[in-house]
Amino acid sequence: MYERFVEVFSHGMKNRNFVAGGIITIAFFGLALLSYVWSPHPIENINISDKLLSPNAKYLLGTDHFGRDILSMLIMGAKNSIIVAFVAIGIGLGIGVPLGLVAASQRGWTDEFIMRFNDFTLAFPSLISAIMITAIMGPGAVNSIIAIGIFNIPVFARVVRGAALNIWKKEFILAALSSGKSKTRISIEHVLPNTSSVLIVQATIQFAIGILAEAGLSYLGLGTQPPAASWGKMLNEAQTFLHFAPQLAIYPGMAIALTVLGLNLFGDGLRDVLDPKLRRNR
């Protein structure tokens, strides 16, 4: 396992996407982890006398209309985005992967049923359905996690099924069947490990989508609720002051764009590294 990690890493260092995306992703995660031990100012502190300041020594990126430190809010917002996207991926993996494996191993009606249900779910635009779900269950971080998670399920189910169908055709599966293993066991012990690389790549991409979705829901006021910070909510609040304090929108906007770009680059690079058939720049 360790050797494999070293191998992937050394190949990755030669891949520009992997390196650039990796650096941004690590910086983003570092920022989020930092929030647990330190942030420049507590974000609950409302200090009207310091409102709408430009960047200065005390407030590195300035303050918003309540006098809150923008850098602190960005750091807390990063943590929030990660938690939401992470748990949403957990939901997608936890339910989507078993569904995909079952569909691939059983084929026939079970497969049809699972995949048509998948298509049904995918047919709804995910953000609009997430809005509907949060509108029904009420706004909040937990509900937005569930709403985003539900839309990760069909994505993972489809990706795993596709990869698993390929694995089921391999001769080592026939060998495993001939040694007396049940289909369930083969799915877990032989098929799943062989689909791990596509899963990792898909998870990185879904991570970026999750962050975007969280920002979107928060922007609409359906995601993270005050006083917790969220990039989407910062954007929403910045809207009012766009003319005389555009930096309020620029910082969170850039944070979202950079993070999503970084994660997508990292995902692309990782796919090239993990799948030798697609490896281009060596």
> Which residue number, 75 or 191, has a Cβ lying nearer to another protein?
191
Of 226, 67, 211, the closest CA to residue 152 belongs to 211
Q: How far is the CB of 171 from another protein (least distance, A)?
A: 4
For the bound state, the minimum distance from the C-beta of residue 177 to another protein, rounded and expressed in Å, comes to 6
CA of 186: how far to CAs of 52, 111, 128, 193, in Å? Answer: 60, 17, 38, 10
Least Å distance, CB 176 to another protein, is 7
From start to end of 115-218, where are the E strands? Answer: none
Question: How far are the Cα atoms of 28, 39, 71 from residue 21, in angstroms, in the given order?
Answer: 11, 25, 22
CB atoms near residue 255 (< 10 Å): 23
Segment (H or E) for 25: helix 16-37
Max distance between CA atoms of the chain, in angstroms, equals: 76
- Distance (Å, whole) CA 61 – CA 72: 9
Compare residues 124 and 172 and give the one whose CB is closer to another protein.
172
The residue among 138 and 193 lying less far from another protein, judged by its C-beta, is: 193
- The binding site for another protein (CB under 8 A) comprises 107-108, 170-172, 174-182, 189-190, 193-194
Q: Measured from the CB of residue 119, what is the shortest distance to another protein in angstroms?
A: 23
Indicate the residue among 2 and 36 with the shorter CB distance to another protein: 2
Q: How far is the CB of 113 from another protein (least distance, A)?
A: 16
By beta-carbon proximity to another protein, the closer residue of 14 and 185 is 185
